[in-house]
Amino acid sequence: MGRFDGCVALVTGAASGIGGATALALAREGARVAAVDVREPAPEQREALLAASPKSAFHELDVREEDAVAATVRQTVAAAGRLDVVVNAAGVAGGGPVHLLDGAEWDRVLDVNLKGTFLVCKHALAPMMEQRGGRIVNVASVEGLEATDGSSVYAASKAGVVLLTRNLAVDYGRLGIRANCVCPGLIDTPMTRMLFQGELVEPGRRFVAQHQLGREGRPEEVAAAILFLASEESSFVTGHALAVDGGFTAGHRMGVLEMLGLGGAGR
């Protein structure tokens, strides 16, 4: 028996990365998954999902297009009869200091990361309200909790996701709908690998070093946290932003232990 037997889940950004890992984990736990993305998944990703849950399906969707979002939610509910879990993992990277940031770039990042999350939640709420229950898990970021240099628009978009999530918890909790978000640190995904190219290699290494566990996370580790928030194991948790960040937001090392000859403490 899986934790999500009989459940219907909609996962955005499901072609790869955190969304892909989450869609597969839900399917392996018994969920029927509507996996959506703006692009096709790799064949092995599709095969693994359908092997785990034969009634699952992939759909092409741009989360910025409201009519398409509404149609995908309607199609999912029509096919499966309900909608229990929504995971908003679709997202894009972007940033730069504000005085150098082009307005079109600001719009692009906000449209996908924040507006896309809003649109999926908006249309998923209708069936959840009717059935008086549901779980929403949005993917934010540690950069939605605290600033990093040059993150500007990305940080703004993810901070918006955190507060949107909390408002969902306040507005819909009385209807049995829970809303939480995860705030990943640096996770090894296709989107983050650009941090280790060209002149970004050294800043990328410094970013990794600020995670207290000394490494990047894996998509499967974030998926595990998402499944907890989407399951009945977290039935009294709503409005929470869970950092899944290897200790990035726990604090910062100042070199004192190294001065004392204890730099390897705990390893």
How does pLDDT run across 146-198, given as a tens digit for each residue? 998 888 999 999 999 999 999 999 999 999 999 999 999 999 988 777 666 66
The Cβ-side half-sphere exposure at 144, using a 13 Å CA radius, reads 27
Residue 103 has pLDDT above 70, yes or no: yes
What is the spatial distance between Cα 205 and Cα 69, in angstroms, rounded to a whole number?
Answer: 37
Look at residue 47 and tell me if it is in a domain. Answer: yes
Q: Residue 124: which of 115, 134, 139 has the closest Cα? A: 134
Look at residue 266 and tell me if it is in a domain. Answer: no
Cross-strand pairs, 34 = 10, 57
What is the spatial distance between Cα 171 and Cα 174, in angstroms, rounded to a whole number?
Answer: 7
Domain range spanning residue 129? 8-248
Q: Is 154 a catalytic residue?
A: yes
Task: Determine the distance from the C-alpha atom of residue 14 to the mean position of all C-alpha atoms in its chain, rounded to a whole number.
Answer: 10
194 versus 43: the higher-pLDDT residue is: 43
Look at residue 255 and tell me if it is in a domain. Answer: no
Q: How confident is the model at residue 236 (pLDDT cuts 50, 70, 90)?
A: very high
pLDDT at position 258 is 80
Residue 1 has pLDDT above 80, yes or no: no
Residue 262 has pLDDT above 60, yes or no: yes
Look at residue 264 and tell me if it is in a domain. Answer: no
- The answer to whether the Cα torsion of 96, 102, 87, 16 is positive or negative is negative
pLDDT at position 199 is 67
What share of the chain has pLDDT > 70, as a percent? 96
What is the spatial distance between Cα 3 and Cα 163, in angstroms, rounded to a whole number?
Answer: 28
Residue 267 has pLDDT above 60, yes or no: no
Q: How confident is the model at residue 95 (pLDDT cuts 50, 70, 90)?
A: confident
Look at residue 262 and tell me if it is in a domain. Answer: no
pLDDT at position 224 is 98
Look at residue 261 and tell me if it is in a domain. Answer: no
Q: What is the CATH number of the domain that holds 194?
A: 3.40.50.720
Q: What is the pLDDT of residues 200-230, one digit of tens each?
A: 677 778 888 899 999 999 999 999 999 999 9
- Worst-scoring range by mean pLDDT, 70-74, 92-96, 215-219, 253-257? 253-257
Asked whether 160 and 114 are in contact (CB, 8 A), the reply is yes
- Active-site residue identified among 58, 154, 172, 248: 154
What is the spatial distance between Cα 78 and Cα 67, in angstroms, rounded to a whole number?
Answer: 16
Residue 132 has pLDDT above 80, yes or no: yes
**Structural domain count, the chain:** 1
Look at residue 188 and tell me if it is in a domain. Answer: yes
Look at residue 253 and tell me if it is in a domain. Answer: no
